[in-house]
Amino acid sequence: MNLLLDEIARATARLADAGAASPRADAEELAAAVHGVNRSELHMVSDGAFDARFWEYVARREAGEPLQHITGRAFFRYLELKVGPGVFVPRPETEVVAGWALDVLRDMDVQDPLVVDLGTGSAAIALSIAQESPRARVHAVEKDPTAFVHATRNIEDLDERGQVKLHLDDFSTALTEFDGKVDMVVSNPPYIPMSEWEYVPRDVRDHDPADALWGGGDDGLDAIRVVEQTARRLLRPGGYVAVEHSDLQGNAVYWVFAEENGWRDVRNRRDLTNRDRFVTAKLGAD
């Protein structure tokens, strides 16, 4: 038997005992990162090339460190992003938000759509839109200096056409020069209420930056309320907004985008597990 595959099997058992949600996938990803190959190429690593650092990585994952912090990379749609302590690790659920935005942009009768990503973190959404919508002009806003460094690095590495401009700013006040001119605002803001602290997985609450998790207010929706206000300021009439929320907040977020504030076609949309995941709305023309 291939030595590395045998060690991966042992690591899988250890990670399962430690409570990892996806022990086999984690073990394979750790092995791939250590040996500089893709997961599909693990069987090609010879016994003599086995790197014992694999067990150091496994021990860190057993202790609750996020997989992506150990490997230094996270996958999002068609991107491989650099991540680490101080930046929120993008989740698969957010890929659905980005996918909706891209579908709308493709159907939009605008030659070079102007898109704003509020609270960009690693720049996952901004870069996906730039990569998959070649004519889009994307402005990404991030207020945390550490996350800004990660976003800068990813944009430098992956934004081949120079479509993404990054701004170190609070998204409540950012980009006033674009007031009333933006075609789409997208955001995955913090939204977890502090009352849910004990229910948040340990590797999330102990390692993801607090400003990217806790949304503020008793219901966790203060940051989403700021997104609504900023989107209303930035969007042109007929422009769209998409904002992510938890699977329990759909109804509450729906009412944040009130008709009396000019919002139309407000809809709660679901992720691939059929759970409420994000709200979309269109700014009315009147």
> Is 145 known as a binding-site position?
no
> Is 191 known as a binding-site position?
yes
Q: Please name the amino acid found at residue 124.
A: A
Q: Please name the amino acid found at residue 284.
A: G
Q: Cα separation of 207 and 271, whole Å?
A: 24
Q: Cα separation of 161 and 270, whole Å?
A: 32
> Is 190 known as a binding-site position?
yes
Determine contact, residues 278/256, Cβ cutoff 8 Å: no
| Half-sphere exposure (Cβ direction) of 113: Cα atoms closer than 13 Å | 28
| CB-based burial, 258-285: b 16+ in 10 Å, e otherwise | eeeebbeebeeeebeeeebbbbbbbbee
> Is 75 known as a binding-site position?
no
> Is 38 known as a binding-site position?
no
Give which of 66, 126, 96, 101 is closest to 240, Cα–Cα: 101
Q: Cα separation of 286 and 280, whole Å?
A: 19
| DSSP H helices in the chain | 3-17, 23-35, 53-62, 67-71, 92-107, 124-132, 145-158, 202-205, 222-234, 250-256
Three-class SS state of 141: strand
Q: Cα separation of 77 and 94, whole Å?
A: 9
In the annotated binding site for S-adenosyl-L-methionine, the residues are 142, 171, 188
Q: Which residues make up each annotated binding site?
A: 142, 171, 188-191
Binding positions for substrate: 188-191
